[in-house]
Amino acid sequence: MARESDYGVNDLGLKIATVNGTGSASANGLLLQALFRMGIPVSGKNVFPSNIQGLPTWYEVRVNKDGYTARSPNFQLVIAMNPESYARDIEEVVSGGWILYDNTRELDDEFRRDDVTFLGIPLADMCVEHFQGSRIRILMKNITYVGALVALLDIDMDVVKGMLQEKFASKQHLMDANFTAIELGYTYALEHFDCPLPIRLEAMDKTKDCVMVTGNAAAALGCVYAGATVGAWYPITPATSVMDGFTEYCRRFRVDPDTGKNNFCILQAEDELAAAGMVIGAGWMGARAFSPTAGPGISLMSEFIGLAYYAEVPCVFFNIQRTGPSTGMPTRTQQGDLMLCAYASHGDTKHIVLFPADPKECFEFSVQAFDLAERFQTPTFVVSDLDIGMNDWMIPKLEWDDSFVPDRGKVLAADELEKVENFHRYLDLDGDHITARTLPGVHPKGAYFTRGSGHDKYGRYTEDSDAYVEVMDRILAKVESAADHVPAPEIFETDGGKSVGVVSVGGCHWAVLEARDALAAEGIEIDYLRIRGFPFSQAVEQFLEDHGTVIVIEQNRDEQLKNLILLETSCAKEKLQSVRYYGGQPLSKVHVIEGVTPFLTREPMEVSQ
Partner 1 sequence: MSYIKKPAARHPKLKVNSLGLTIRDYEGSMSTLCAGCGHDSVTAALVQAFFELEVEPHRLAKLSGIGCSSKTPAYFVSEAHGFNAVHGRMPAVAAGANAAHRDLLYVGISGDGDSLSIGLGQFCHAIRRNVNMLYVLENNGVYGLTKGQFSASADIGSTSKGGVANQQRPIDPVNTALSLGATFVARSFSGDKDQLIPILKAGLSHSGFAFVDVISPCVTFNDHQGSTKSYAHTRSHMHEVIETDFVPLRTEITTEYSEGSVQGITMHDGSVVKLHKVADEYDPTDRRAVLDYLADVGSRGEIATGLLYLEEAGVDMHGFENTVDGPLVEIPFADLCPGSKGLEEVQKEWQ
Q: How far is the CB of 300 from partner 1 (least distance, A)?
A: 11
**130 or 445: CB nearest partner 1:** 445
CA distance 466 to 462: 10
Interface with partner 1 (CB under 8 A), residue from 47, 149, 212, 373: 212
Interface with partner 1 (CB under 8 A), residue from 420, 442, 476, 518: 442
Q: How far is the CB of 550 from partner 1 (least distance, A)?
A: 37
Q: How far is the CB of 204 from partner 1 (least distance, A)?
A: 15
Name residues contacting partner 1, limited to 289-328 (CB under 8 A). Answer: 289, 303-304, 307
Please give, one letter per residue, the 3-state secondary structure of 221-243.
HHHHHHCCCEEEECCCCCCHHHH
Interface with partner 1 (CB under 8 A), residue from 29, 452, 496, 497: 452
Q: What secondary structure letter does DSSP report for 106? A: P
Interface with partner 1 (CB under 8 A), residue from 12, 32, 47, 232: 232
Number of residues this chain uses to bind partner 1 (CB under 8 A)? 75
Binding of residue 516 to partner 1 (CB under 8 A): no
What lies within 8 Å, CB to CB, of 6 at 6+ separation is none
Binding of residue 569 to partner 1 (CB under 8 A): no
CA atoms within 13 A on the CB side of 370: 30
Binding of residue 453 to partner 1 (CB under 8 A): yes
CA distance 45 to 392: 7
**122 or 452: CB nearest partner 1:** 452
Please identify, among the stretches 83-91, 218-226, 516-524, 525-533, the one whose residues bind partner 1 according to the rule CB under 8 A.
218-226
Binding of residue 229 to partner 1 (CB under 8 A): yes
What binding mask, one character per residue, do residues 391-430 give for partner 1 by CB under 8 A, x or -? ------xxxxxx-xxx------------------------
Evaluated on CA atoms 199, 201, 202, 207, the torsion sign reads positive
Binding of residue 163 to partner 1 (CB under 8 A): no
Interface with partner 1 (CB under 8 A), residue from 131, 234, 249, 365: 249
Evaluated on CA atoms 69, 70, 76, 82, the torsion sign reads positive
Interface with partner 1 (CB under 8 A), residue from 88, 346, 348, 449: 449
What three-state secondary structure class fits 76? Answer: strand
Q: Strand locations in 29-105, DSSP E? A: 42-47, 56-64, 75-80, 93-102
Closest CA to 434 of 488, 476, 390: 476
CA distance 370 to 372: 5
Q: How many CB atoms lie within 10 A of CB 583?
A: 14
Name residues contacting partner 1, limited to 252-291 (CB under 8 A). Answer: 252-254, 256, 259-267, 269-271, 273-287, 289
Please identify, among the stretches 65-73, 428-436, 453-461, 485-493, the one whose residues bind partner 1 according to the rule CB under 8 A.
453-461
CA distance 522 to 518: 7
CA distance 526 to 502: 7
Binding of residue 451 to partner 1 (CB under 8 A): yes
Closest CA to 35 of 55, 10, 59: 10
